[in-house]
Structure 1
């Protein structure tokens, strides 16, 4: 959650203030209870006090705009210090845990994610720009650990990501009432890293 939609780039320089006003207008309309299906580009432009062309210069259509809105709702990805594999993973998992807590307490985010699943193209865009970006971050951390000899080199990196992220994502996405206590990120990282350490 928090990555920019690269397909939004256009030829002319973009105004971050204008983009922010458009995204915030969509969020306000959603907060008022307007479903995604009723959010036309014309309605969004009118609410943001911009022309439709202003929106189309930045996004190809509603799905691309909504993908950016989804990314804007959550906290930006925290920087990774790179001092240790464990620390980078704990920071990453803690961010996922915190987003899970926000999703449970935010009717807007919960509703927006639920509606997004009804729009396959939107969900694919969200996955590509938010979920995959996070996955790439974790793969980079694991690659650093493998190169440094801290992690096994006989496992598929994508499988390693699944082993690490599976527990936290299961609680955040699949089990709406599963506990997300403080220290969960550390517990998961330590437990799974134990099995990913190089064999004697």
Structure 2
């Protein structure tokens, strides 16, 4: 991912004159919801997100990141931040999403090839986590906030699993996978070896070809019996 460089914009100057909206106690889900109806300024939002990443990269604990401190680091008014995120939980979700790659586009022609693409995405994600101190820092700090981590899981991680389940259902429908397989267990059989190496046994390699090896091994065991 290419991180945006920080810098002032004309929108920053105008935003400094705005008053902070009244803030009410928020739930994690409400905090993750952007305020409706405000105009988008993607450059300004990128500047704010980049500022959060810079603070985390310099070992500032998530608990110490107030909206006021984030606004100061970004060089904008506090009201500018509150107009885009009702609270820190919603902002941190977007910070996490900024470190994500888009899910791979699946051609939909071959169940086997689509499964390989999804597992290759996980392999590259695991390599990125190993190679990026910033990504490790952000993930570690967000995991320490259970409600925030749950929201991230429900909006980002679940989307990846849903894509995998859709491919498996297609494989069952086409007869490439046995219909008596529990689809949730089947999904775990495909992703668990990759996640085990990426997250639990980080000293193990994630070599090229691993996605193909996992997919072919599992498919060999779940093809229709003759």
TM-score (norm 2): 0.80
Partner of 1:179: 205
SS in 1 for 2:165: helix
C-alpha separation in 1, matches of 2:111 and 2:224: 14
Is 1:107 aligned to residue 137 of structure 2?
no
Greater CA drift, 45-54 or 80-89: 45-54
- Paired positions, count: 196
> Bigger relative contact order, structure 1 or 2, given CA contacts below 8 A and separation 6+?
1
SS in 2 for 1:7: coil
C-alpha separation in 1, matches of 2:164 and 2:80: 36
C-alpha separation in 1, matches of 2:188 and 2:211: 15
How far residue 56 of structure 1 moved from its aligned partner, in angstroms, is 3.0
Are the equivalent residues in 1 in contact too, given 2:120–2:211 (CA < 8 A)?
A: yes
Greater CA drift, 54-63 or 126-135: 54-63
C-alpha spacing 1:196/1:33, structure 2 compared with 1 (3 Å)? same
How far residue 46 of structure 1 moved from its aligned partner, in angstroms, is 1.9
Question: Could you give the per-residue CA deviations for residues 145-166 of structure 1, whole angstroms, max 9, x where no partner exists?
Answer: 1222211211222111111111
C-alpha spacing 1:117/1:157, structure 2 compared with 1 (3 Å)? same
Are the equivalent residues in 2 in contact too, given 1:151–1:197 (CA < 8 A)?
A: yes
C-alpha separation in 1, matches of 2:188 and 2:66: 37
C-alpha spacing 1:78/1:9, structure 2 compared with 1 (3 Å)? farther
C-alpha separation in 2, matches of 1:103 and 1:197: 33
Is 1:146 aligned to residue 172 of structure 2?
yes
How far residue 9 of structure 1 moved from its aligned partner, in angstroms, is 5.8
C-alpha separation in 2, matches of 1:32 and 1:160: 41
How far residue 14 of structure 1 moved from its aligned partner, in angstroms, is 2.4
Mind listing any 5+ residue stretches in structure 1 that lack a counterpart? none
Partner of 1:199: 225
Taking the TM superposition and a 5 Å limit, the aligned residue runs for 1:40-79 are: 40-79=66-105
Is 1:11 aligned to residue 37 of structure 2?
yes
User: What RMSD in Å do the two structures reach over aligned CA positions?
Assistant: 1.8
Query: Which of 57, 70, 78 lines up with 1:31 in the alignment?
Result: 57
C-alpha spacing 1:181/1:26, structure 2 compared with 1 (3 Å)? same
Question: Could you give the per-residue CA deviations for residues 105-130 of structure 1, whole angstroms, max 9, x where no partner exists?
Answer: 11111121111221001111111122
C-alpha spacing 1:58/1:158, structure 2 compared with 1 (3 Å)? farther
